[in-house]
């Protein structure tokens, strides 16, 4: 039985190794196929030119369809190229025979390398067609911050859709010299804002600017919400799917409930004993207050034994579930890290969106949110919430609640958070919106 199990495990590991070794070629082929699909659309419907509706010959719905197809294939190409690069780096680093193969570089290897280079060259040619024309022609830059000469360029850049906006988002955030956190000058912001608004209203191109600004904000909002949902939904789905289909069967196989330890820590054992005592006292109490004949000692023991077996199954399942949670949470963290590592433009756009949303609130709304968060996480009643949260995390992972660690955490972490809040208010909010700080102080007194 055990020999056949190890045989299956070895076969599974061998198949996994073969699959991993083929990852670079598989990823490159998928990226190449996506680039071929883009090229096929260009040749069939746009005469070999980039997908665009500058001539105006296509209807809005038809061009929207081609835009969606373009975004889809560009995203596939981008993801598969990242997978190709990452898998090659890891493979070359972990393969002990890489140096031996490089010293015996055969003609077949040279042919394979030339094929790879041709595919990469073709993919780069397709992708370069849909990059912004210039580094400064950024579709997400507010129009009020762009020169007039770039307005038309931005309209053309928008034709590639959200993918082009995400591509240039990181440079947008890093290159903005007048970001929200640095908007200071000789005149107060209210007066400067009024003068700028009058200037924009008198501009003959103001309507064009407003339309472009609306498109820019709409694209930024769409990218930010989509990326935020990815950060929440993908790790949760990964945790649940891996727990049910991967981690769960493995843990149940190596830890059968009938032969495994019932309690993973002493707190679960004490909790089970308390439940059993409560059940015994309940039986005696019901015998005293009811008109039915009292249970004999033997009947009480039989019921206690049945209840103890139920508690055994329940807490054995809880212990196994805690072990599954540990490994499933690791997979969830890996998925979260992959999203963060592969979506740097999305992070930049999300940060810009949050900055504009927070700093665009009214003074009373800013003060209300600050008081809400500070009272919730660093206020007088916050230690009770932190204690419940840490106890829940420990129970989720099957760890005993270390009260010394919890008290030490409560004594230090909220203080650090409070310091960060105060520094942010002093360093940034006091410079951006002094009236919000004054409102916050009045509401907090």
Looking at residue 177, its pLDDT comes to: 39
Task: Give the whole-angstrom CA distance, residue 329 versus residue 402.
Answer: 21
Of the pLDDT bands very low, low, confident and very high (cuts 50, 70, 90), residue 142 is very low
Q: Cβ-count burial of 137 within 10 angstroms (0-12 exposed, 13-18 middle, 19+ buried)? A: buried
The answer to whether the CB of 42 falls within 8 A of the CB of 49 is: yes
Please tell me the predicted confidence (pLDDT) of residue 50. 86
Region 200-222: what's the mean pLDDT?
77
Confidence class for position 243, pLDDT limits 50, 70, 90: very high
Q: Copy the structure tokens of residue 285.
A: 């109490």
- The Cα–Cα gap between 188 and 150 comes to 29
Per-residue 3-state assignment (H helix, E strand, C coil) for the chain: CHHHHHHHHHHHHHHHHHHHHCHHHHHHHHHHHHHHHHHHHHHHHCCCCCCCCCCCCCCHHHHHHHHHHHHHHHHHHHHHHHHHHHHHHHHHHHCCCHHHHHHCCCHHHHHHHHHHHHHHHHHHHHHHCCCCCCCCCCCCCCHHHCCHHHHHHHHHHHHHCHHHHHHHHHHHHHHCCCCHHHCCCCCCHHHHHHHHHHHHHHCCCHHHHHHHHHHHHHHHHHHHHHHHHHHHHHHHHHHHHHHHHHHHHHHHHHCCCCCCCCCCCHHHHHHHHHHHHHHHHHHHHHHHHCCCCCCCHHHHHHHHHHHHHHHHHHHHHHHHHHHHHHHHHHHHHHHHHHHHHHCHHHHHHHHHHHHHHHHCCCHHHHHHHHHHHHHHHCCCCHHHHHHHHHHHHHHHCCCCCCHHHHHHHHHHHHHHHHHHHHHHHHHHHHHHCHHHHHHHHHHHC
Between 50 and 165, the more confident residue is: 50
- The pLDDT-based confidence of 168 (bands split at 50, 70, 90) is very low
104 pLDDT higher than 60: no
Q: Which of 225, 229, 222, 73 is nearest to 160 (CA)?
A: 73
pLDDT of residue 153 exceeding 60, the answer is: no
Give the mean pLDDT of the chain.
77
Per cent of the chain over pLDDT 70 is 75
- Which of 119, 158, 107 has its CA nearest to residue 30? 119
* pLDDT tops 60 at residue 92: no
Instruction: Give whole-number Cα distances, 164 to 28, 160, 176, 314, 327, in Å.
Output: 22, 6, 18, 53, 37
pLDDT for 297 equals 84
Average pLDDT over residues 255-279: 84
80 pLDDT tier (thresholds 50, 70, 90) = confident
**pTM of structure:** 0.55
Cβ contact 369:421 at 8 Å: no
pLDDT for residue 226 is more than 60: yes
Rounded CA gap, 284 and 295, in Å?
8
Q: Which residues neighbour 10 within 8 Å (Cβ) at sequence distance 6 or greater?
A: none
Q: Which range (54-63, 73-82, 251-260, 398-407) has the least confidence?
A: 54-63
Average pLDDT over residues 293-310: 87
Most confident range (mean pLDDT) of 170-179, 216-225, 236-245, 401-410 is 236-245
Mean pLDDT in residue range 390-413: 89
Q: Which of 203, 116, 129 is nearest to 160 (CA)?
A: 129
Average pLDDT over residues 183-196: 60
Range 205-220 average pLDDT? 78
CA distances from 144 to 137, 171, 199, 314 (A): 14, 18, 10, 63
pLDDT of the residue at 234:
94
Query: Two tokens at 31?
Result: 């990226």
Smallest CA-to-CA distance from 193 within 368, 436, 433, 438 is with 433
Banded pLDDT at 140 (limits 50, 70, 90): very low
pLDDT of residue 91: 52
| pLDDT for residue 107 is more than 80 | no
Query: In whole angstroms, what is the distance from residue 134 CA to residue 132 CA?
Result: 6
pLDDT of residue 5: 58
- pLDDT-derived band at 346 (thresholds 50, 70, 90) equals confident
What is the model's pLDDT at position 214? 80
pLDDT level of residue 178 (50, 70, 90 thresholds): very low
* pLDDT confidence bin for 275, thresholds 50/70/90: very high
| Residue 46 CB partners (closer than 8 Å, separation 6+) | 52
Cβ–Cβ < 8 Å for 119, 28:
yes
Q: Say if residue 106's pLDDT is above 90.
A: no
Token pair recorded at residue 179: 């970001």
Average pLDDT over residues 43-48: 81
pLDDT value at position 20?
Answer: 64
The pLDDT-based confidence of 289 (bands split at 50, 70, 90) is: confident
Mean pLDDT is highest, among 56-70, 94-108, 310-324, for 310-324
pLDDT reading at 229 higher than 90: yes
Place of tokens 């740097």: 344
Are 141 and 177 in contact, with CB atoms under 8 Å apart?
no
Confidence (pLDDT) at 276:
92
What's the mean pLDDT in 160-165?
42
Tell me the two tokens of residue 97.
């025979």
Encoded tokens for 104: 């015996």
Return the ∠ at Cα 26 (arms to 23 and 29), rounded to 5°.
150
Provide the pLDDT for residue 13. 66
């Amino acid at each position: 039985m055990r020999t056949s199990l190890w045989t299956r495990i070895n076969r599974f590991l061998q198949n996994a190794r073969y699959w991993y070794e083929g990852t670079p070629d598989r990823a490159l082929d998928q990226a190449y196929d996506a680039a071929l699909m883009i090229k096929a659309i260009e040749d069939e419907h746009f005469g070999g030119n980039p997908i665009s509706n500058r001539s105006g010959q296509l209807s809005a719905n038809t061009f929207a369809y081609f835009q969606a197809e373009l975004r889809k294939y560009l995203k596939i190409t981008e993801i598969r190229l990242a997978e190709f690069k990452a898998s090659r780096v890891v493979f070359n680093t972990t393969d002990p025979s890489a140096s031996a193969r490089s010293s015996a570089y055969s003609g077949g290897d040279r042919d394979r390398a030339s094929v790879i280079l041709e595919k990469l060259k073709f993919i780069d040619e397709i992708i370069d067609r849909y990059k912004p024309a210039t580094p400064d022609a950024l579709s997400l830059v507010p129009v009020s911050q762009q020169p007039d000469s770039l307005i038309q360029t931005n309209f053309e850049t928008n034709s590639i859709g959200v993918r082009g906006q995400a591509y240039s988002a990181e440079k947008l955030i890093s290159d903005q010299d007048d970001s929200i956190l640095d908007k200071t000058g000789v005149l107060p912001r209210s007066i400067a804002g009024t003068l700028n608004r009058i200037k924009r209203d008198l501009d003959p191109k103001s309507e064009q600017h407003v339309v472009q600004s609306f498109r820019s904000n709409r694209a930024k909002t769409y990218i930010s919400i989509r990326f935020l949902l990815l950060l929440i939904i993908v790790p949760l789905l990964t945790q649940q799917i891996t727990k049910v289909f991967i981690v769960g069967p493995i843990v149940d196989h190596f830890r059968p409930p009938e032969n495994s330890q019932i309690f993973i820590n002493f707190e679960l054992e004490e909790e089970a004993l308390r439940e059993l005592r409560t059940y015994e006292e309940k039986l005696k109490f019901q015998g005293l207050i009811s008109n039915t004949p009292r249970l004999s000692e033997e009947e009480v023991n039989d019921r206690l034994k049945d209840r103890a077996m139920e508690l055994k199954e329940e807490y054995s399942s809880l212990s196994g579930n805690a072990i599954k949670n540990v490994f499933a949470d690791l997979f969830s963290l890996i998925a979260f890290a992959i999203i963060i590592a592969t979506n740097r433009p999305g992070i930049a756009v999300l940060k810009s969106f949050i900055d504009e949303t927070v700093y665009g609130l009214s003074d009373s709304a800013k003060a209300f949110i600050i008081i809400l968060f500070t009272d919730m996480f660093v206020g007088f009643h916050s230690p009770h919430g932190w204690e419940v949260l840490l106890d829940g995390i420990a129970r989720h992972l099957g760890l005993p609640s270390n009260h010394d660690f919890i008290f030490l955490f409560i004594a230090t972490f909220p203080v650090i958070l409070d310091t960060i809040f105060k520094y942010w208010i002093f360093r940034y909010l006091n410079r951006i919106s002094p009236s919000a700080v004054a409102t916050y102080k009045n509401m907090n007194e």
